[in-house]
Amino acid sequence: MFCKKSRARLKEIEEWPTTLKGYGLFINEQDQIRVIGNPEEKSYFKVSKSYQYNERRYSALRRTIPFLK
């Protein structure tokens, strides 16, 4: 229904990983993005309840992987 906005400011993260390995991911033979620790598991993007954090992380990931643009 309604969403309560957080009054706490999101901490600025100055350095994001610049490689897929930094995110704990890799691309397999079928060109699928998978998790390094468990290659059978698909990579899911949502990592936090914070929409702003997820958007910033996704933007950094798009800079890492050119075909996500």
Domain-embedded: residue 32: yes
Mean confidence (pLDDT) of the chain: 76
What is the phi-psi region of residue 23: left when phi exceeds 0, alpha when psi lies from -120 to 50, beta otherwise? alpha
Domain-embedded: residue 7: no
- The pLDDT, as a whole number, for residue 58 is 82
Domain-embedded: residue 31: yes
- The number of domains in the chain is 1
Q: What is the mean pLDDT of residues 19-26?
A: 84
- pLDDT tens-digit readout, 37-59: 888 887 776 678 888 888 888 88
Instruction: Give the range of the structural domain holding residue 60, as residue numbers without chain letter.
Output: 20-68
- Residue 4: CB atoms within 10 A of its CB come to 5
Domain-embedded: residue 49: yes
- The pLDDT, as a whole number, for residue 31 is 83
pTM over 0.95: no
d(CA 65, CA 22): 12
